[in-house]
Each structure stands twice: as C-alpha cells, then as structure tokens.
Amino acid sequence: MIKTMAVIKTAGMAKHVARTVAYHGIKRAGIKAAGFLGLLHNPLSWVIFAIIGYLAFRLVGKLIK
C-alpha cells in the first residue's frame, strides 16, 4: 500500500515538473518569437504569440494528463 502511494506521488511530481518545464519552454520560445516580431513594431504580434503559447500550453497539459 505504501509503495503504491510512493509511485503515485512520484508520477504526480514528474507530471508537475514536465508541465512546468514545457510551460517555461513555450513561454521562452514565445517571448523570443514575439521579441523578433516586436522589431517590426507590431503590438498585435504579442497578442498572437500569447494566444499561440496559451493554446500550446493547454495542448501539452492535456497530453501530460
């Protein structure tokens, strides 16, 4: 019984870590891309990348779940 709990806890932690890493990776990539588009002085690009980043994060969250 205790072993099962440990495995569940470990899996939960791994899921959380993977999700956090994926989230930060997407955010960093989004910031870089938005910064690149920002050179074109287009504020709309930030909105577009925020939406893309959010959707990608949701997708990753679903895949990890």
pLDDT digits (tens, 9 = 90+) for 7-46: 677 777 777 777 887 777 777 877 777 666 666 666 676 6
> The tokens of 27 are what?
């955010």
| Domain-wise residue ranges, the chain | 17-64
Residue 2 backbone phi and psi in degrees, to 5? -65, -40
pTM over 0.75: no
Rounded Cα distance, 43 and 58, in Å: 23
Q: What is the pLDDT of residue 62?
A: 85
